[in-house]
């Protein structure tokens, strides 16, 4: 499917999606500050709060009115079958509140994720962290940016691996909650590395902005957890790849679960030669 089928430019969509992500962030903050989360447990045993639903509603009503011909696939959408979405040439892929467990734990590391997927690839992504009032955004051919509050937006890019005592030194970012033992195995050939943790899509933003070198995700995620971040990482010069080093795709299969994946910074480094990929 060609890009020109979209009825809007990516810069028009990006401008609106940033506004929408901040509105969703405000809806989340109202719940965060009220102490009335009303935590329920969903069918997949993940938690759901009033904030997830308030953010979902804010995003859907905004995007449906601004871009009526672009369908929305949100973590909190129900009843959309694969048969229906299979025919979509493009769609928004939305996680209204990524890091619900971090939200409940009150550690501030949660985000609103909105991506535009065209023909299976994320071409635009916005990640907004409401407590940090920080937005990461990117679109194809427009680069990746980070903006804190009302400060000037900075262009971001992945970094070249730093050296320590003559060896490459890696900053590895990992989930607080999932797959840490497997990460240690994956990194066993690194001469030196340090580990840092973040909730939600902020892990991928750390690689995109050149604060971390690799984020291995050896635990389950869904398409809305990665679509926006993949656009940002790629525009920042990095990669988000499956364990066989091929690309992740979106809205191409019935299951919305992602395979395990690697987020890689330095594009010049021989990651394939250095990582110990689990079976």
Ligand X SMILES: Nc1ncnc2c1ncn2[C@@H]1O[C@H](COP(=O)(O)O)[C@@H](OP(=O)(O)O)[C@H]1O
The DSSP string of the chain is: --GGGSSS-HHHHHHHHHHHHHHHHHHHHHHHHHT----EE-TTS-EE-HHHHHHHHHHHHHHHHH-TTS-EEETT--S--HHHHHT-SEEEEEEEEE-HHHHHHT-S--EEEEEEEETTEEEEEEEEETTTTEEEEEETTTEEEEEETTSPPEE----PPPEETTEEEEEEEE-SSS-HHHHHHHTTT-SEEEEEE-STTHHHHHHHTTS-SEEEE-S--BHHHHHHHHHHHHHTT-EEEETTS-B--SSSSS--BPPPEEEE--TTS-HHHH-----
CB of residue 97 to ligand X, shortest distance in Å: 6
Q: Is 95 in the site for Mg ion (CB under 5 A)?
A: yes
Residue 116: partners with Cβ closer than 8 Å, 6 or more residues away: 10, 13, 17, 70, 90, 91, 92, 93, 122, 123, 124, 125, 139, 231
# binding residues, ligand X (CB under 6 A): 18
Residue 21 interface partner, choices Mg ion, ligand X, none, CB cut-off 5-8 Å depending on type: none
Residue number, nearest CB to Mg ion: 98
Please enumerate, by residue number, every residue annotated as part of a binding site for substrate: 75, 97-100, 225
Residue 209 interface partner, choices ligand X, Mg ion, none, CB cut-off 5-8 Å depending on type: none
Residue 100 interface partner, choices ligand X, Mg ion, none, CB cut-off 5-8 Å depending on type: ligand X
Q: Is 234 in the site for Mg ion (CB under 5 A)?
A: no
Residue 46 interface partner, choices Mg ion, ligand X, none, CB cut-off 5-8 Å depending on type: ligand X
**Which region among 49-57, 92-100, 103-111, 244-252 touches Mg ion (by CB under 5 A)?**
92-100
Per-residue binding string, ligand X, 87-106, x by CB under 6 A, is --------x--xxxx-----
Q: Is 98 in the site for Mg ion (CB under 5 A)?
A: yes
Instruction: Return d(Cα 37, Cα 278) in angstroms, integer.
Output: 38
Residue 177 interface partner, choices ligand X, Mg ion, none, CB cut-off 5-8 Å depending on type: ligand X
Per-residue binding string, ligand X, 233-252, x by CB under 6 A, is --------------------
Please enumerate, by residue number, every residue annotated as part of a binding site for Mg(2+): 75, 95, 97-98, 225
Per-residue binding string, ligand X, 4-43, x by CB under 6 A, is ----------------------------------------
Residues 210-229 binding Mg ion (CB under 5 A) are 225
| Contact set with ligand X (CB under 6 A) | 46, 75, 95, 98-101, 175-178, 199-200, 220-222, 225, 257
| Contact set with Mg ion (CB under 5 A) | 95, 98, 225
């Amino acid at each position: 499917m060609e890009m020109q089928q979209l009825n809007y430019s990516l810069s028009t969509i990006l401008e609106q999606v940033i506004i929408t992500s901040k509105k969703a962030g405000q809806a989340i903050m109202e719940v965060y500050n009220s102490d009335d989360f009303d935590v329920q447990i969903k069918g997949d045993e993940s938690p759901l709060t009033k904030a997830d639903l308030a953010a979902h509603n804010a995003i859907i009503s905004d995007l449906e009115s601004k871009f009526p011909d672009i369908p929305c696939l949100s973590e909190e959408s129900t009843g959309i079958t694969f048969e229906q979405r299979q025919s979509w040439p493009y769609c928004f892929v939305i996680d209204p509140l990524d890091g619900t467990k971090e939200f409940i734990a009150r550690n501030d590391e949660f985000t609103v994720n909105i991506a535009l997927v065209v023909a299976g690839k994320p071409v635009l992504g916005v990640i907004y962290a409401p407590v940090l009032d920080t937005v990461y955004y990117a679109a194809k051919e427009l680069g990746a940016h980070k903006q804190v509050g009302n400060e000037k937006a900075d262009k971001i890019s992945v970094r070249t691996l730093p050296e320590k005592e003559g060896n490459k030194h890696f900053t590895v970012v990992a989930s607080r909650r999932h797959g840490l033992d497997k990460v240690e195995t994956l990194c066993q050939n690194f001469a030196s590395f340090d580990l840092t943790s973040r909730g939600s899509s902020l892990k991928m933003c750390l690689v995109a902005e050149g604060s971390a070198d690799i984020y291995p995700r050896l635990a389950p995620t869904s398409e809305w957890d990665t679509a926006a971040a993949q656009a940002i990482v790629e525009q920042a010069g990095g990669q988000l790849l499956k364990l066989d080093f091929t690309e992740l795709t979106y809205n191409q299969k019935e299951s919305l679960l992602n395979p395990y994946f690697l987020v890689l910074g330095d594009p010049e480094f021989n990651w394939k030669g250095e990582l110990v990929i689990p079976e």
